[in-house]
Structure 1
């Protein structure tokens, strides 16, 4: 265990108060990992990137960004890798400064704790310890928890504005090599107001959600529109990779009680908190919210065992047979393989479950229901479930190809149905 370089903590203050000298902690060639989104320890990441030239060439694994800490100019000494093209990662990729790891989210803990992508250094943002000297993981456990166990060095930014959260593992001072104390608001993720088309999709998806269902939802305006339509439901549950402010609203309103969950009854389970101070305040020492690692949130057996499990995910485009591209739009990497397949398979195997992919029928003048994907197959057609657009709901479960085409044409934009049908006929009968 190390003390912060250049700082000698006193007997009553075991923390340093300034960013560490990363040249003593990170070696050339290392892979550095930190908490994503709101869990980013910005005092540490800012210092790390400022010191990048002195460290030498090293690698960083990025999750979803909620800040502008990482910029393309940092690629002069750092190689960036991510599982997603969300937020600022999109610009990094366009600038040629980001490589992409196409993998299922459930695979990340193993990939980042062993093999060629094992994290050498892990940077954490933690709340202050409790009376017993234990630190919760605060805003995110997800894949960080596994990486902490195998990293050579663990550096913690202890921030008194980070909520103490239940459910996940706890750390002690012995688990941390360097500790720095700060006080600054965590990065926030504010959700946009859904547009009319997204509201219409939200209405259709909400009609598929019954009282007592347990929900998973991805990022974006469509899931937000769905959640905003659930105020009249009873005893909903949450088991999701991330949650935002709207979940806190639904819990406070008594809509989300988790009472009927098969697993973890009475508790909202999530991998990370992606919201604002409103969510952080609500989650602080709230036993009704558990921040768990990816092994728990994306566990295939657990998802399948959760009765009435409804997975709500988005896509860039879907073809007429149900193949889904959730990664690339107009040759730009904008999404991820992510956890969609994990959750869709879990919902498909859940008793009373519904695997949903929801998307607008068009992007500008282009159809998002297509005969042939313009990007990779993120979710194969064998895992397609219920596809929802503003024009309808196509339940593809158990359907052969011809019936799938008919249902997918019915949810495409009316202006594109005839061209899609003609293109499909030409493709089948050249």
Structure 2
């Protein structure tokens, strides 16, 4: 039977054992009351480990590494503070593999839930994704039930019987940091939008560039959503009638996502409506499902692409700033889907630490291969579009140099000739 404990009466040492691994929802789905208690009481736990996704809350502070060993799949958000302090380990697995990987690691699951639509039921609120299987596999489930979290329907259910300790709260929901597209990102967005047909089913990530791409789709019709992430741009397009999911064969009329990261407008849309549905990662990222979505269009970013199409989405200048994430899952799904479109979008160049121009199209990657060249689809920069599907190595080189920064093309061409690629 679930135990109800007031936030001020929660003593974690009474429930968590030394050496155990904790996990909680990421971004706006972090149960802040519980992670704040973990921060304050960490020295009483005898040393614990934690798996964290995108970090927005203050638990991801290097000062907390004195009693908590942090692991994540990404170096984004406040995780960069842990990374820069050398206090962050990385789990480099595909998003589709999170469920079994975490089930083997996690002992204690901390959830943020919303009240459900019927007595004794709860809503995952803002995230279901890799949390759902941990409800069954974790030794202990502690749920913060926040009545200010939107009660979003999901393809799976969670009830009182699934929870060991319930902590009732009422506090505002965090919103994502505001990201404003720069002129380069705006040009990239226009190129990407020109590739997307009416009726496409979209997947995007978080940040200024995905937001700019969605802002360019007002003239489209009958778009759908099947994404790991649901953002404000989707909400705006739903309210304008651009996204109606009318052409989806799988779950028509419904936008499907694993995680919601939006402002109050998105929370209002999701609350007690059937427009958006949360789903576990086994549904949002599964190749067997993605391949069956006609017109599935995967739009993801990268840090750099080499001249043959290999993609680095993880490290830059020796710092882990990205993730393996779902990029490969979605690229393969889009490639396998009828009329699918796998897109990688990035600026053609960036400024180095010394202010010099550094190409994002490179002779050789400066980090790991996050997406193999065999999985590369369409690469987009502000300079244009390079379709690598079915292209030979020399064709790839020519197409990628054509969308590289104009000031760096001559150097890239020389490198390609040295490597006998041209």
Same fold (TM > 0.5): yes
1:76-117 Cα offsets, whole Å, 9 max, x none, are 111000001111111211101100010100000111113xx2
Structure 2 counterpart of 1:312 = 299
1:396 maps to which of 388, 393, 396: 388
Structure 2 counterpart of 1:49 = 39
Structure 2 counterpart of 1:120 = 107
> The residue matched to 1:305 in structure 2 has which SS?
coil
Moved over 4 A (4+): none
Please say if 1:232 is aligned against 2:219.
yes
Please say if 1:58 is aligned against 2:48.
yes
Task: Tell me by how many angstroms 1:324 deviates.
Answer: 0.2
> The residue matched to 2:81 in structure 1 has which SS?
helix
Aligned length: 416
Structure 1 counterpart of 2:242 = 255
Q: Which runs of 5+ in 2 are unaligned?
A: 352-356
Q: Quick one: distance in 1 between partners of 2:130 and 2:259? A: 10
1:21-51 Cα offsets, whole Å, 9 max, x none, are 1101111110100011000000000101211
- Once superposed, what is the RMSD of the aligned Cα atoms? 1.2
> The residue matched to 1:135 in structure 2 has which SS?
strand
The question of whether the paired residues in 1 share the 8 Å contact of 2:202 and 2:296 is answered with: yes
Structure 1 counterpart of 2:376 = 384
Please say if 1:67 is aligned against 2:57.
yes
Q: Which runs of 5+ in 1 are unaligned?
A: 8-15
The question of whether the paired residues in 1 share the 8 Å contact of 2:83 and 2:320 is answered with: yes
> The residue matched to 1:106 in structure 2 has which SS?
helix
Please say if 1:108 is aligned against 2:98.
yes
Q: Quick one: distance in 1 between partners of 2:390 and 2:100? A: 33
Task: Tell me by how many angstroms 1:276 deviates.
Answer: 1.4
Task: Tell me by how many angstroms 1:190 deviates.
Answer: 3.6
Q: Quick one: distance in 1 between partners of 2:416 and 2:103? A: 45
> The residue matched to 2:115 in structure 1 has which SS?
coil
Please say if 1:136 is aligned against 2:128.
no
Q: Quick one: distance in 2 between partners of 1:265 and 1:210? A: 18
Q: Quick one: distance in 2 between partners of 1:387 and 1:294? A: 26
Structure 1 counterpart of 2:192 = 205
Q: Quick one: distance in 1 between partners of 2:164 and 2:306? A: 50
Task: Tell me by how many angstroms 1:2 deviates.
Answer: 5.4
Normalised by the length of structure 1, the TM-score is: 0.95
Structure 2 counterpart of 1:85 = 75
Normalised by the length of structure 2, the TM-score is: 0.96
> The residue matched to 1:32 in structure 2 has which SS?
strand
The question of whether the paired residues in 2 share the 8 Å contact of 1:18 and 1:181 is answered with: no
Structure 2 counterpart of 1:13 = none
Q: Quick one: distance in 2 between partners of 1:199 and 1:19? A: 50
The question of whether the paired residues in 2 share the 8 Å contact of 1:189 and 1:275 is answered with: yes
The question of whether the paired residues in 2 share the 8 Å contact of 1:158 and 1:180 is answered with: yes
